């Protein structure tokens, strides 16, 4: 059986490898491994050229984690805590998102990917969660995931896949959805009320989560994406 081709968006950052330090298109390998284990063929999509034109060549799309979106994309000024903005990546992923939704392409957003989805449909973001919830459990320290359960909402696609009991989740995000965009349904929340997953209404298969399932052992969401493809 031919593996479905899954495009995964990626970073462009300065990186060190072997004897080199230079600008690189890169992606944590956990995303790639999860797609392969689930039965897909991953293809990394750098945010260059006309990325939106690639949608017709893909069987599915993952928008991966990364730095903050430019708050101008949802009509706000950046806070001092907002950082790692890469406008070229915003533009590329918004184009990919638009193409995927118009075509009905199976889609899975992870962390930043959920934020791109919400902004693409007209929603807004909390720019710094500690100012909203009064704690740092969603992003406890640089390079350190925060364990915190999320609870799927009954009747949503996410609940069909994961059940309605709390799900262990690895968090690393200091931003999250504020105003929910039209066309999205909240499908999970953290215990502090923060939106942690959404379903896209009237779409064959499109969902997004705020946590990082690629670093966990539960591969049900990746398998569901491949099955949809």
Residues recognised as catalytic: 111, 212, 214
- Rounded CA-CA distance 100/5 in Å is 14
Helix ranges (DSSP H) in the chain: 29-38, 87-103, 112-120, 130-133, 157-162, 220-228
Among candidate residues 180, 173, 103, the one with its CA nearest the CA of residue 136: 173
Distance (Å) of CA 212 to CA 20, 66, 96, 150, 180? 29, 11, 20, 12, 20
Q: What is the DSSP letter of 135?
A: -
Report the 10 Å Cβ neighbour count for 144.
9
């Amino acid at each position: 059986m031919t593996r479905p081709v899954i495009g995964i968006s990626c970073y462009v950052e300065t990186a060190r490898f072997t004897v080199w330090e230079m600008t690189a298109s890169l992606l944590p390998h956990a995303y790639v491994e999860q797609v392969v284990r689930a039965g897909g063929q991953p293809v990394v999509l750098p945010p260059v050229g006309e990325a939106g034109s690639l949608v017709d060549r893909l069987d599915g799309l993952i928008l991966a984690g990364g730095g903050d979106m430019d708050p101008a994309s949802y009509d706000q000024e950046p806070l001092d805590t907002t950082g790692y903005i890469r406008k070229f990546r915003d533009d590329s992923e918004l184009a990919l998102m638009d193409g995927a939704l118009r075509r009905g392409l199976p889609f899975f957003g992870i962390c930043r990917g959920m934020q791109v989805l919400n902004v693409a449909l007209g929603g807004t973001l909390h720019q710094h969660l500690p100012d909203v919830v009064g704690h740092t459990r969603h992003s406890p320290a640089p390079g350190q995931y925060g364990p915190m359960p999320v609870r799927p909402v009954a009747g949503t696609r996410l609940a069909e896949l994961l059940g309605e009991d709390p799900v262990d989740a690895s968090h690393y995000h200091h931003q999250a959805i504020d105003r929910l965009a039209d066309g999205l349904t909240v499908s999970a929340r953290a215990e502090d009320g923060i939106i942690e997953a959404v379903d896209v209404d009237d779409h064959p298969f499109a969902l997004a989560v705020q946590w990082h399932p690629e670093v966990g052992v539960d591969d049900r969401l990746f398998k569901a994406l491949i099955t949809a493809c």
